[in-house]
Amino acid sequence: MKINKDLAISENGFLFNPATGESFTANPMAFEIIRMLKEGQSGEKIVEWVSRHYLVEKSTVEKDLHDFFGLLRLHQLSVEND
């Protein structure tokens, strides 16, 4: 999964999708995940980082990340890898 290249992201977590006109505010964890996706990090690397950083079981992170990716797709903030 990749972040939509047109998505505007500010350092304070404000997201703006010019294609839809919608804006969102990301919490610190969501902002970090979006940043990692923008850098090309894989889902597996993101799961590992979140699990280590927040001391959460990988299975829990995988489920939550799956749900988060679904929200990104729903709001057209991401695109699938080519």
Query: Based on the structure, what is the number of domains in the chain?
Result: 1
pLDDT at 82: 53
Q: Which two tokens stand for residue 42?
A: 């894989």
Range of the domain at 27: 2-79
Task: Please give the model's pTM, rounded to 2 decimal places.
Answer: 0.88
pLDDT tens, 69-82? Answer: 999 999 999 987 75
Burial 42-57 (b: 16+ CB within 10 A, else e): ebeebbeebbeeeeee
Reduce the DSSP state of residue 64 to 3 states and report it.
helix
Amino acid type, 24? F
In the beta sheet, which residues pair with residue 24? 15
43 pairs with which residues across the strands?
Answer: none
Report the pLDDT value the prediction gives residue 74, as an integer from 0 to 100.
94
Instruction: Confirm if 51 and 58 have CB atoms less than 8 A apart.
Output: yes
